[in-house]
Structure 1
Amino acid sequence: MAGRAIRRTRFAPSPTGLLHLGHAYAALVAAEQADPGAFLLRIEDIDRERCRPDYEAAIHEDLHWLGLDWTQPALRQSDRMPAYQDALRRLEPLCYPCRCRRGDIRTALSAPQEGALPAGPDGLIYPGTCRHRSMTDLGADDVIRLDARRAFDAIGVAQLEFRDEIILPGQPHRISRDEFLDGIGDVILSRRGMGTSYHLAVVVDDSAQGISLVTRGKDLFDSTWIHVILQKLLQLPTPLYHHHRLIRDDAGKRLAKRDDARALRHYRQDGATPADIRQMLGFRPSDP
């Protein structure tokens, strides 16, 4: 490995359903792109209402059946709340509490404009209704939002950038401050009943696990901007990214966990082998 950094990757499923072909593809890509002994598993189980132990056990079973292994014990996000709370405390001067529900946001965005409502990688672009509030006013039912304007002021840059080795390899992707404010806005860093959010947890964990290459679907490309600004604010390294293609059904729709017909468990029960799954997903027999 002399002369270059170790390519350390991770597969990070949520135990809210059975793994399907799309998960298998993502896991195989991550394992294929990692250097020997540098493929890790993370269980993203911060949504305690939807996560189930039997789904978590099935993740381990299905991945081992595919022939994948990881050299460290799987990291479980539910064990990592102190780390997320510490990061949130560091970001608190740039945050504000928000009591708005989705219906409130939709109503605020609907008047007086017509047509499609502005949406970004974190959902509808928040109009800033609660931006005047102070964190000293935080209530039990509030979420915590990052004030993107103050965040850009804090890092002192006019744009963000990251590199992806699949999409425009060799060229940095860039987003300006105004593009971020208009297309992403004030994202949630702590959701009700969770104490954190996907965006905050994934940034903290990627750094803690030393992930140098983040592999994931193209549908998360725009979310990467949220992660980059959090990395800057928390003074964490920005890894290289690898946003791969998505596995879709016959109608061209991205597979979801509710699509049980394509769950790996069912293919196994029907007699499929790991080699069959690899071939189905476009890997050569010897891959990964």
Structure 2
Amino acid sequence: MATAVMTTLDPNSRSAARGMSDLTIRNLFIIPTIIFLIVFNIFPLLYSLGYSFTDFRASSPAPASFVGLQNYRELLNDPFIWSNFAITAKYVIVSVVGQVIVGFGVALLLNRDIPLKGLLTTLLLLPMMLSMAVVGLFWKLLYDPSFGIINYTLGLGSFEWLSNPDMALYAVAITDIWMWSPFVMLLSLAGLSAVPKHLYEAAAIDRAGSFYTFFRITLPLVAPILMIAIIFRTMEAFKTFDLAYILTSQPTTEVISIRLYKMAFQEWQTGRSCALAYIVLIMILAITNIYVKYLNKVKER
């Protein structure tokens, strides 16, 4: 009965005059999108899953042989892979924490009536609109020990940010913080603008301090949307490739995405790289699931 209602047209309606029902128009938009997702997302995902159980090499004409879980076992027992995961985890923590602190702090500063607030907010959003390659090359010049403006401003002489094994990862993380803090700022501004003003007025009447107001009113009400920002940035930071690859080639900055790239396109271990890609995918899904569960608890409060 419901289908009949959706597909039957009034002969005098505008839909009948143009010759297509609303259902047909809807399908014309949805079906191509579904086909696109299947062809470019789901099919490659399943295809690579099959390769992860083989010893296939894209550079070799030899047919692929089924090896079962051997690729997964070797990767999970490889200390170098775990070293890459440790580097990635360190990078994610430094980068995401920095973005949250800077982004939320700037949002607090902008959450008031100031001159040219709209223009200032737009200018602060520019870094996240740039290409990763452009940002990487731009910051590579800023970090240059000979003529980089960062060393000149901080009075560090010819300090080599990107060649120093201990500082290279932090240099990449600082670049990522500069680029994506505006994203956290934008979401935080949306959350701060939704906080009811009467709560602050009541706190002022009760002579509540600024710290009490922040931790009892502002932070709890903004926490759900801040958690959404953290989820997105954690997923993206875990998959970081562009910035680390462009800025430096230090072994201490070889995040898991770079290790995956080398395995797939330099060593041509296609089957093994597919297995590593699925291990990374499972880890990202697990981390995201933890965040989502915590987000639901925050919302329940």
Question: What range describes the TM-score normalised by the shorter chain of this pair?
Answer: under 0.3
Which protein, 1 or 2, shows the higher relative CO under an 8 Å CA cutoff with sep ≥ 6? 2
Give the structure with the larger helix fraction: 2
TM-score, scaled relative to structure 1: 0.23
Q: Which has the higher strand share?
A: 1
